[in-house]
Amino acid sequence: MRLGTSDSPLTIGIIGDGFMQPGFFEVALTRQLVGRNVNYRNLELQWPLKLSSTKHDPSLPVAEFVGRPEDYFGFLSGLDVLITHLAPITRDSLRHAERLKIIAVSRGGPVNVEMAAARERGVIVINTPGRNASAVAEFTVGSLLAETRNLIRGHQTVASGNFGREFYHFDSVGPELGELTVGIVGYGEIGTRVARLLAPFGCKMLVFDPFKSLTEEDRQAGIEKAGLDDLLRRSDVVTLHPRVTPQTKGMIGRAQIALMKTGAYIVNTTRGQVLDYAALYDALVSGKLKGAVLDTFDPEPPPADSPLLKLPNVTLSPHIAGASRYSVTKAADMIASDIRLILDGKPPLYPAT
């Protein structure tokens, strides 16, 4: 592409928000596009503080977005490149973006872009797979420790003015990670990092992922591949990391939980749609499961009166597993590098699929 020359200046629009702030992308692009004539147009949404949740609208062919497509029509006009985190981009959007050649989505999947329409228009779409994989993996292990070792409950006891010793009673103390068999469902960017972080604790690890083969390094670390039912039966902890697809929605339901060990734990830092929360609640109340870690919900946010939120044996967080500063700068660097490659006539490293 001959964009960004003195005869043909490049206009890049960045729709960011309070997390993916436009300034980080402009800095990364400035480093990569040295010598090009670039104009920047920035918009920062009031997410996540004033607009706290993303939307799902079955009437639109996109998901997990903020605002409506028509809210951004004016911003899109005259852009050569669009960088977005949460703005929905549909076929109608592209009709208002006559010059648009590249869409960059600063997330693991371009779920807020109507990919078929972009392909028809010849617009290149890139995204940032794995940009928060290390953040989610760290959060997964930290939250598991918080649940098994009573970190949150202990904090609440001391903060309330009590120095209760109930969490030193044998009936209340939790296991050490080295005692546990951890079943990892989904062995992509996040699942593999969870395994690497857990390995020094001495955990035995089982993996279910029909699309991923174990490496020699995995086998040397004692990681074993298993079928889903076998993994559920043998694991003390089941941690969920699959992408949401028609095949994975509801994949851990009442029948699957029934296969699990009595006293096991479930960790969910992927999307809420993979887990049946009503069945989880029943298992936690009955004692079938000892505890759970939940960073995501279905629906999200969960109803304030949901009984699941009142249970003492659950560690909860408001969908923040992937929220690290490094994941922002990493996304900006990935996108800036790919935009430079495309403008130089080379294939991007992270084409969206």
The segments of the chain whose pLDDT lies below 50 read none
Eight-state DSSP code of residue 44: E
Please give the span between the terminal C-alpha atoms of the chain, in angstroms, as a whole number: 22
Cβ distance 90 to 68 under 8 Å? no
| CATH classification at residue 88 | 3.40.50.720
CB atoms within 10 A of CB 184: 28
Residue 45 lies in a domain: yes
Across the chain, how many H-helices and E-strands are there?
A: 12, 14
pLDDT at 52: 73
Does the residue 195 lie in any domain? yes
Q: Look at residue 193 in the predicted model and tell me its pLDDT.
A: 97
Task: Specify whether 271 is catalytic.
Answer: yes
Question: Is residue 20 included in any domain, yes or no?
Answer: yes
CA–CA gap between residue 353 and residue 340 (Å, rounded): 20
Whether residue 290 is found in the same domain as residue 172: yes
165/54 same-domain check: no
Q: Which amino acid is at 246?
A: P
Is residue 3, in this structure, part of any structural domain at all? no
Contact indicator for 317, 143 with CB cutoff of 8 Å: yes
Bond from prior residue into 110 cis (ω within 30 degrees of 0)? no
Do 297 and 184 lie in one domain? The reply is yes
My answer on whether 137 and 127 are in the same domain is: no
Among 119, 319, 325, 340, the active-site one is 319
Q: Say which amino acid occupies 253.
A: G
> Do 116 and 181 reside in the same domain of the chain?
no
Residues 334 and 246 in one domain: no
- Residue 88 is part of which domain span? 10-131+324-343
Residue 93 lies in a domain: yes
| pLDDT, tens digit (0-9, with 9 covering 90-100), for 139-175 | 999 999 999 999 999 999 999 999 989 999 999 999 9
Distance CA 41, CA 79 (A): 9
Domain annotation covers residue 263: yes
| Total-model pTM | 0.92
Regarding whether 310 and 328 lie in a shared domain, the answer is no
Per-residue tokens: 65: 């977005």
∠ CA(97), CA(114), CA(345), 5° rounding? 60
The verdict on whether 300 is a catalytic residue reads yes
Task: Report the pLDDT value the prediction gives residue 266, as an integer from 0 to 100.
Answer: 98
Check residue 4 and give its pLDDT: 58
What's the total number of domains in the chain? 2
Q: How many angstroms separate the Cα of 330 from the Cα of each of 35, 45, 128, 130, 256?
A: 23, 20, 9, 9, 36
Q: Quick check: is 41 catalytic? A: no
Beta strands 204-208 and 63-65, pairing class: unpaired
- Claim to verify: residue 48 and residue 172 sit in the same structural domain: no
Clarify whether residues 195 and 70 are in a common domain.
no
The verdict on residue 350 lying in a domain is no
Length of the chain equals 353
Q: Tell me how far apart the alpha carbons of residues 213 and 122 are, in angstroms, rounded to a whole number.
A: 34
Same domain flag for 219 and 330: no
Whole-angstrom distance, CA of residue 269 vs CA of residue 297: 9
Q: Record the tokens describing residue 275, joined without a space.
A: 């887990």
Distance (Å, whole) CA 348 – CA 342: 6
- Catalytic: which of 219, 271, 325, 340? 271
Q: Which amino acid is at 126?
A: I
| Cα 32 from Cα 338, distance rounded (Å) | 9
Q: Per-residue pLDDT tens for 96-147?
A: 999 999 999 999 999 999 999 999 999 999 999 999 999 999 999 999 999 9
Residue 101 lies in a domain: yes
Q: What is the pLDDT of residue 53?
A: 76
Residues 264, 333 share a domain:
no
Q: What is the DSSP letter of 87?
A: -
Please work out, in degrees rounded to the nearest 5, the angle formed at the alpha carbon of residue 16 by the alpha carbons of 13 and 21. Answer: 115
Can you give the pLDDT at residue 1?
59
Q: Are residues 139 and 288 in the same domain?
A: yes
